[in-house]
Structure 1
Amino acid sequence: MTAQYIKPRPQNDADPLLISYLDAIVALTCQREALGLTTSLIDSLCQHVRAERFRLLAISNFNKDDELDGSNFQGVVVRDWLEPLSVPVPIRYDQDLLACARTRDRVSRKLPGMKGRRLILPIIGAGQATAMLVIEGMREVGGEDEVLARLLQIFSNQLYLLSRNELDGLTGLHNRQSFDERIKHLVLNAGHRERRAQPNVTAQQNCLALLDIDYFKMVNDKYGHLYGDEVLVQFARLMSRAFRHQDMMFRYGGEEFAVVLVSMTPEACVPVLESFRRTLEAYEFPQIGCRTVSIGVACIASGESVDTIINRADKAMYHAKLNGRNQVCCYEALVAEGKLAPVTVATGDIELF
């Protein structure tokens, strides 16, 4: 029986299914190169392993500080890279997946009504299981274990090299280069979503938030860069806990961070960002105490340039800083209230504070 999986298709702006597919890939923070790797992996598996179905599950919302046991996996979800439109599933609902992620060892089980067995193999990255290969209905004909071990080792190594190019070395969040690539995709696809939206149905929106730690230079000057780096690391971890698995988090530059809040209006984003602001305000950093953050958020609208959208979020954040810091400001609300002049054309370089 041929294994079930989805292959990437040639790009075609007129293809609504492909646009949905690409939207989901962006939301999963999975680059084109990673898609190519996964396709090659599945093609090789189909040639060498007899099974009914292959699934490649990405693990999201994992926190490195948490112990790998069931009680601390409440927010961890898995989502199939090969079926990007699938709904994420909490890992605690599947004890075999949970056991594989916790022990980082293979799990094999013969399920009732299934020909062959279900085999779950961890894909290790940065010392933890970052994904899992699930083979359902596997039939052994000899030599599969060696083939699987070699394929997964190659896949893990290549995926790790790709991820290193996208991640900030200090915080583990996606870096500025990754931000630039993803925001372009989101702006491009915003227009496709609006054009294919049904009558009387509002197209889903994404929003960009820029977050800047208040008086961060004072931390470096008073306590040294070692403590400053620790603040950045802890700040990133608080972000990872506060936002959803589909939201994209970046270290934008220095002490400035960015979050793309997926399928949320600016009005809906403000309470979420306000909750994070309060969490940070109450958090005590080692030796330093509490810090605050100024946040600006703007809608990722179709028909606008990337620079314009970034500039709007940046102006909202600047407004927060000029008016007392430690607050969330929404660009659209500020313009409506007459507190900020509309930004219609990007004005050049983005200011960092």
Structure 2
Amino acid sequence: MSNVILKSIIEMTGQRDVDSLECSLVATLAEMAPIHEACLYRRLSQNDAKAVEEIICLSVSKNDVGETQYFWHDPGTLVPIDSNLEKALSVKNPVLYQVSSGIRLLIPMSCEGEIIGVLSLESTQGLSEYKALIEGVVKIYENYSIILNESERDKLTGLLNRRTFDNKLSRLLKIQRVIKEEDVSSERKKGKPQRRYLGPDSFAWLVILDVDHFKRVNDTFGHVYGDEVLLTLSQKMTSTFRSSDLLFRFGGEEFVIILEPIPFEMAQKTVDRFRRLIAEHPFSQIDQITISLGFSRITENDYPQTVLENADKALYYAKEHGRNCAHNYELLIEKGE
């Protein structure tokens, strides 16, 4: 048993990004304890307080010859917050209770003291003798995730950095492909947890934004003030966009946002609303800071680099046509621009 534990922990701490670490945590616990289902839920923003997002779920069963089988469920399910989940999120202590398939153990997951999600483990037998082992593995995960999280973050703004972009976008495209293939309405009728519904006109969107005349700001007021502008911009991004949207700093004054699937009209309003928010913000020492934005649709069949180039072309158009504006790549192509 000790060799199995050691091997699993070595494998878990060998991961190099947070998404892989999350998968490794669930797989490690499924190997160590008599668990038939392990799920990881991510806490969403206050606007989504009635649900958590199931980002990973692993089912474990035996086949006809007694061999262990592992089945990874598709991510993206929204799970309503019941009284037990609410307790785990608020009290910050493990919650154990009976379910139809046995017992369920909910373990709050924290990052630097903040509860960011819940680990759910189901078993047909008691987990009391595994409690210390499970909590130990979770603590190793939490400590190591802090290190990985720091490596994925921009040092100045705390946003995701350029290095993580391809992996994050590839994961989003995979989820989008899965959800597009499913009949969401039939899931709802069966009483299953709901996914974020993707209507026929809903897509994820990639937004590139750039601070207008940022070199002039640096040259006039110095790099320290320039950093202050970038920090304020990143803080506005974090407070404005949903927790399910991905926010990146690509370097310098260039930022990237991946909006979760929404219709075009909503994406356009979201992008332009943020542009106005920055233009109206009272920066110190300077009358006004503005941004230009370009955005492009993301479909499940796109390559990350292609989407990035399309959004960048729309940004270039915005820069060449007055700045302090936002343009969509597909709309520009449709108009022949």
TM-score (structure 1 length as normaliser)? 0.67
Give CA-to-partner distance per residue, 1:81-131, whole Å, 9 cap, x none: 33423115469995314414xxxx315465799976x65433222342222
Q: Distance in 1 between matches of 2:81 and 2:127?
A: 33
Q: CA deviation at 1:308?
A: 3.5
Where does residue 137 of structure 2 map in the other structure? 151
Where does residue 117 of structure 2 map in the other structure? 131
Give CA-to-partner distance per residue, 1:280-315, whole Å, 9 cap, x none: 222234555642211101123566654433222112
Q: 3-state DSSP class of the match of 1:284?
A: coil
Question: Unaligned 5+ residue runs, structure 1?
Answer: 1-28, 62-72, 340-353
Indicate how the Cα distance of structure 1 residues 281 and 88 shifts in structure 2: closer, same or farther if over 3 A, else same. farther
2:315 aligned residue (311, 314, 317): 317
Identity among equivalent pairs (%): 28
Q: 3-state DSSP class of the match of 1:171?
A: coil
- Quick check: 2:89–2:118 contact (8 Å CA) kept in 1? no
Indicate how the Cα distance of structure 1 residues 95 and 34 shifts in structure 2: closer, same or farther if over 3 A, else same. closer
Q: Distance in 1 between matches of 2:83 and 2:213?
A: 40
Give the strand-richer structure, 1 or 2.
2
Kindly report which structure 2 residues correspond to 1:4-83, keeping only aligned pairs within 5 A, or say none: 31-44=19-32, 46-47=33-34, 54-61=38-45, 73-76=46-49, 78-83=52-57
Where does residue 255 of structure 2 map in the other structure? 257
Q: Distance in 1 between matches of 2:312 and 2:291?
A: 14
- Quick check: 1:55–1:133 contact (8 Å CA) kept in 2? yes
Indicate how the Cα distance of structure 1 residues 95 and 190 shifts in structure 2: closer, same or farther if over 3 A, else same. closer
Q: Distance in 2 between matches of 1:131 and 1:260?
A: 21
Indicate how the Cα distance of structure 1 residues 113 and 33 shifts in structure 2: closer, same or farther if over 3 A, else same. closer
Where does residue 298 of structure 2 map in the other structure? 300
Q: Distance in 1 between matches of 2:23 and 2:206?
A: 25
Q: Distance in 2 between matches of 1:299 and 1:265?
A: 10
Q: Distance in 1 between matches of 2:174 and 2:120?
A: 33
CA RMSD of aligned residues (A): 3.8
Which residue identity is paired with 1:161? I
Question: Unaligned 5+ residue runs, structure 2?
Answer: 1-16, 58-74, 184-198
- Quick check: 2:88–2:95 contact (8 Å CA) kept in 1? no
- Quick check: 1:265–1:299 contact (8 Å CA) kept in 2? no
Q: Distance in 2 between matches of 1:99 and 1:122?
A: 9
Where does residue 62 of structure 2 map in the other structure? none
Where does residue 106 of structure 1 map in the other structure? 93
Q: CA deviation at 1:202?
A: 4.4
Q: Distance in 1 between matches of 2:42 and 2:47?
A: 16
TM-score (structure 2 length as normaliser)? 0.69
Which residue identity is paired with 1:106? N
Count residues with an aligned counterpart.
288
- Quick check: 2:109–2:118 contact (8 Å CA) kept in 1? yes
Is 1:248 aligned to residue 246 of structure 2?
Answer: yes
Q: 3-state DSSP class of the match of 1:212?
A: strand
Which residue identity is paired with 1:299? R
2:228 aligned residue (211, 217, 230): 230
Indicate how the Cα distance of structure 1 residues 89 and 317 shifts in structure 2: closer, same or farther if over 3 A, else same. farther
Where does residue 272 of structure 2 map in the other structure? 274
Q: Distance in 2 between matches of 1:189 and 1:144?
A: 33
